Amino acid sequence: MATARARPLVNASVLPGFGLTLGLTGIFLTLIVLIPIAALVLKAASLPPSDFWRIATEPRAIASYRLTFGASLLAASFNAVFGLIIAWSLVRYRFPARRFIDAIIDLPFALPTAVSGIALATVFGPQGWIGQWLAAIGIQVAYTWVGVVVALTLIGLPFVVRSVQPALEEVEATLEEAAESLGASRWMVFRRVILPTIAPALATGFTLALARAIGEYGSVIFIAGNLPMLTEITPLLIVIKLEQYDYLGAAALGLVMLCVSFLMLLTINALNGWRMKRLVGRR
Amino acid sequence: MIAPAHTVVQRADSDTASRLIPALLIGLSITFLMLILVVPVASVIGYAFSRGLSVYLAALQTPDTVAAIRLTLVTAAIVVPLNTVFGVAAAWAIAKFDFRGKQFLISLIDLPFSVSPVVAGLVFVLLFGAQGWFGPWLRDYDISIVFAFPGIVLATLLVTFPYVAREVIPVMQLQGRESEEAAISLGAGGWRTFFRVTLPGIRWALLYGIILCNARAMGEFGAVAVVSGHIRGLTTTMPLHVEILYNEYDLVGAFAVASLLMLLALVTLLVKAVIEALGSRRRRSV
C-alpha cells in the first residue's frame, strides 16, 4: 500500500455502508472510550503541575509503583521462561496430557479475576492446599509481595504461550537439520537458529503479559494483604483514594497508569511491526 | 538432500541426555501449571462443596446471591449485543474500505485492552460522580449513574469494547471484497449481501468474539467494583458478591458463587474448542 503519494480520504468502492458503519464505530468509540478517557485527562490536568507532581510522587504512591512494576516484570519474566518451556513441550513433544494442557492454557483469559483471586489467596494461605506445605518450610506467599507475583503470573500465563506457539510451529525443520549436520550442538541450534526466529513472538508475549499485569486488580487484591507501603498495588491506591472522595488524587494516579498503558500499547504495536517485517522478509 | 522432519527426533533419541531433556521440560511445564493453575482452579470446587451439596445449594439460593446473578445476566444482556453491533460495524468499515487513519482507528479500538480495569471504572466516576463533570447536573435531575446500574453497564461496555471487533476484523480482512462486490453488481442490496455473503464467512469468529465478550462482561471485577458502590442486593454483580462473601469469611458462599463463574469460563473454553474443531474441519474439506 502506497502511503507516500497523496491519496483520497476514502478510496471509491462499490460496496455500501461505509458511512453507516464508520459513523457507528466513531459514535461508539467517542461515547464509550474517548470522552471518558478525556474526562480523566482533563480532571488530572486541572491540578496545578506542582500538585500533580506531589500526588504522583508521594512515598505511598512510589511504593505502589515499585510493587506494581517490580512484581509485573518478575511475573512477565516467569511467564517468558515457563511460557516458552510450555509452548516448546506442546509443539515439539507428544505426551499423554498434551491436549488437556493445551486446552487449559486459555483458562486465565476466561476465568473472572475475582475467582482466581480468592482461589489463589485460599490455596496459598497458611492453611491452604499449597500454603500449608510452604509454611512448613518457612515460605509465606499469601499477604506478601510473593503472592502478588503469583497472581500476576497466573493471569499473564496465556500471553507468552499463545504468542510463541505459532512461531515455534513456523521454525523450519530444514534450517535446524542444516545446523545440526554442520556440527552444531542442540543448545547452539536453539540459541542461534530457533531463538532468533521466535524472539519477536517471545517479546510480544512478554509485553502483553506485562501490560496486563500492570493494570491487574481483581486477582491481586485478595492475596496481596494490601498494607500501605508494602503490599499495595497502584490500582488499589486509586480505589482507596476514590473511597475517600479524593477524586483529584485518584485522577492523578489514573493518569500515570493511563500513560503507562499508552506506552505499552505503542511497544506492542512496534513489536507487531517487527514480527510482520520478519515474516515478510523471509518470503 | 532434504530429510523428513522426524529424523531429527530419531537421531536425538539415540543418546541419554536428549531423552532426559523432553522429560525435564514436560515435567517442568506440568509442575508449573499444577501449582499456579490446576490446583487453584480445582480448589474452587473443593471449597465450594467442603460442607456438602446441601450447603452449596443453599448458598446459591440466598436472596442477595440470586439478585447478584440476575444483575450480572441483565448487564451482559445489554452489553454483549451492543458491542456485537459495534464490533461488526467496525469490522465492515475497516475490512471492506480503504481510508486514511485506519491503523490509528484500530489502535483506538484496542485501547481498552491495555487500560487498567480500575482506570476504566475511574473515568466514569470522574464523568458522572458527585464531583464529576456532569455530577451537579445529574443531581439536579435526580439521575444516578455511578453507584447504580447505568454505571455498571457503562464500565462493562468499556472493558469489553474490543472483544468482538478484535475477532471479526482479521477474518473479514482475509475474506477480501470480491464476493461482496460480485453480489452488489448482481443487484443484491447491502443488507442482503452482508447476511448472505459476509456473515457465513465470519460466523465462527463472530461467535467466538461474542462468547469472549460475554465471559468478560459477566466476570469483570475491577471496573465494576469502582462504579458499583457495593450496595448489597442492588449493585453487586456476581464477582462483587464473591468479594463481599469472601470478606465476611463466608468461604462456602464465596466459592459457591465463584464455582458458577468458573463454570462460565469452562463453557467458554469448551465453545472455543468446538469452534476451532469445526473451523479446521471446514478448512480441510475446502
- pLDDT digits 0-9 by tens, B142-173: 888 888 899 999 999 999 999 999 999 999 99
B-chain residues within 8 Å CB-CB of A35? Answer: 127
Q: What per-residue confidence (pLDDT) applies to A223? A: 93
Residue A251 clears pLDDT 90, i.e. is over it: yes
Q: What per-residue confidence (pLDDT) applies to A3? A: 47
Q: What per-residue confidence (pLDDT) applies to A282? A: 55
The more confidently predicted of residues B189 and B157 is: B157
Q: What per-residue confidence (pLDDT) applies to A172? A: 78
pTM: 0.89
Q: What per-residue confidence (pLDDT) applies to B40? A: 93
A-chain residues within 8 Å CB-CB of B184? Answer: 14-16
Position A7 confidence tier, pLDDT thresholds 50, 70, 90: low
The single-letter code of the amino acid at A60 is R
**What are the residues facing B99 on neighbouring strands?**
A10
Q: How many Cβ atoms from other residues are within 10 Å of residue B99's Cβ?
A: 16
- Residues A235, B114: C-beta atoms closer than 8 Å: no
Q: What per-residue confidence (pLDDT) applies to B141? A: 87
Q: What is the mean pLDDT of chain A?
A: 89
Residue B183 cell numbers, joined: 453480489
Which of helix, strand or coil describes residue A10? strand
Domain coordinates of chain B in residue numbers?
48-285
How many A×B Cβ pairs under 8 Å?
308
- Residues B177, A93: C-beta atoms closer than 8 Å: no
How many Cα atoms occupy the beta-carbon half-sphere of A191 within 13 Å?
Answer: 5
Position A183 confidence tier, pLDDT thresholds 50, 70, 90: confident
CATH superfamily of B48-285: MetI-like (1.10.3720.10)
- Residues A10, B7: C-beta atoms closer than 8 Å: no
B5 touches chain A (CB under 8 A): yes
Give the mean model confidence (pLDDT) for residues A86-103.
Answer: 90
Q: Is A88 left (phi over 0), alpha (psi -120 to 50) or beta?
A: alpha
- Between helix A195-215 and helix A247-282 the angle, nearest 10°, is 170
Q: What per-residue confidence (pLDDT) applies to B282? A: 62
Residue B61 cell numbers, joined: 439460593
Q: What per-residue confidence (pLDDT) applies to B134? A: 87
- pLDDT digits 0-9 by tens, A26-81: 999 999 999 999 999 999 999 999 999 999 999 999 999 999 999 999 999 999 99
- pLDDT digits 0-9 by tens, B61-114: 999 999 999 999 999 999 999 999 999 999 999 999 998 888 889 989 989 988
The shortest CB-CB distance from A106 to any of B100, B261, B269 is to B269
User: Rounded distance, CA A210 to CA A264, Å?
Assistant: 8
A37 touches chain B (CB under 8 A): yes
Which of helix, strand or coil describes residue A43? helix
User: Rounded distance, CA A39 to CA A51, Å?
Assistant: 18
Q: What per-residue confidence (pLDDT) applies to B189? A: 86
Q: What per-residue confidence (pLDDT) applies to A9? A: 64
Which of helix, strand or coil describes residue B7? helix
ipTM of this complex: 0.88
The shortest CB-CB distance from B25 to any of A36, A88, A262 is to A88
Q: What per-residue confidence (pLDDT) applies to B232? A: 80
Q: Which domains does chain A have, with CATH numbers?
A: 69-233 (1.10.3720.10)
Residue B1 clears pLDDT 50, i.e. is over it: no
